[in-house]
Amino acid sequence: MSEKFIELLWAEKYRPRSLKDIVNQEEIVRRLLKFVEEKSMPHLLFAGPPGTGKTTAALALAYDLYGNEWRRYVLELNASDERGITVIRNKVKEFARSKLPGDIPFKIIILDEADNMTADAQQALRRIMEIYVETTRFILIANYPSKIIDPIQSRCASFRFTPLKKDEVVGRLHWICSQENIKCLDDSLEVIYEISGGDMRKAINILQSTSALGEVSVANVYKVIGLAHPREIREVLNLALSGKFIEARDKLMNLMIVYGLSGVDVVKQMHREIFSADIKLPEETRVILAEYIGEIHFRMIEGADDEIQLTALLARIAILGRKVG
């Protein structure tokens, strides 16, 4: 394995460079390419879940506008690290006020994770966006656009990114495996998609971590991400529903030790499994289980003991199983 292979994260290595390489966001790409064609654009707000291509689209837009010298015209900041009013007044303002010669009459400032900016910083930013609009355009990237103040949102054209589709994620993972000469199984790539939930960056990072174990298989995927195999979680649920409370508890405690699971990890997997087609339950039973799991999850994140709460959950499931059985 080469040093370059070790140093590079695949999520960065295989990031699309041009807007035309981006998939699943066709309408967004079409609108952005129009800006490139006209060499003009407003301030932009990219919003949506993680790993759906927001930062990639911003960098690809800059590349398509400026070409190989795009870094001269772009200031990229992560607002979660540099989110205070001092950064806005100094670094951002200094970059925004200067003008560079070229075919494109403006520069770009990319503020990643802009929803983490302080209220004071956002108030300072709104004025800078207005004053220096002739020389600078801003691209704000946020997972939660509601945290961006209304005056900034009104100055921006909004773009809503959606999670990637299964076929596109799996297809991209297949292509990466072929580029890296990694042996992968189709069902393992589908499991990676289910775990990532349409987050391409997360999917690629899981793939890279799993490949370090050799073959990319379902078992290795769950081993890497530190989750129990769904089959084992279903076994715990079925034992509890059949009234075998002690057996269910012993198996669950063993799973937590073997996989190093936290209580929150367990209840999240249980929640996923009760709605899975692989476990046969009446709809009313699923509803009751969802309520039980939701209550236990709330208690855990509030600080309750994992083992006691999971034992209580299994006890309630066992009682339910006897009633419906």
The Cα–Cα gap between 4 and 108 comes to 30
124 pLDDT band, cuts 50/70/90, is confident
3-state helix, strand, coil in the chain (%, to 5): 65, 10, 30
Residue 83 has pLDDT above 80, yes or no: no
197 pLDDT band, cuts 50/70/90, is confident
Please, what's the b/e burial string for 284-299 (b: 16 or more CB within 10 A of its CB; e: otherwise)?
ebeebbeebbeebbeb
- The DSSP output letter for 142 is E
Residue 297 has pLDDT above 90, yes or no: yes
Residues 163-190 pLDDT 10s: 888 898 999 899 999 988 888 888 899 9
Q: What is the pLDDT of residue 80?
A: 61
Residue 289 has pLDDT above 50, yes or no: yes
CB-based contact 148:111 (threshold 8 Å): no
Domains, the chain, in order of start with CATH, read: 3-160 (3.40.50.300), 166-225 (1.10.8.60), 230-324 (1.20.272.10)
- C-alpha distances out from residue 162 to 27, 117, 123, Å: 11, 23, 28
Sheet containing 156-160: order of strands: 74-78, 107-112, 136-142, 43-47, 156-160
- The DSSP output letter for 184 is B
The Cα–Cα gap between 113 and 72 comes to 22
Residue 260 has pLDDT above 60, yes or no: yes
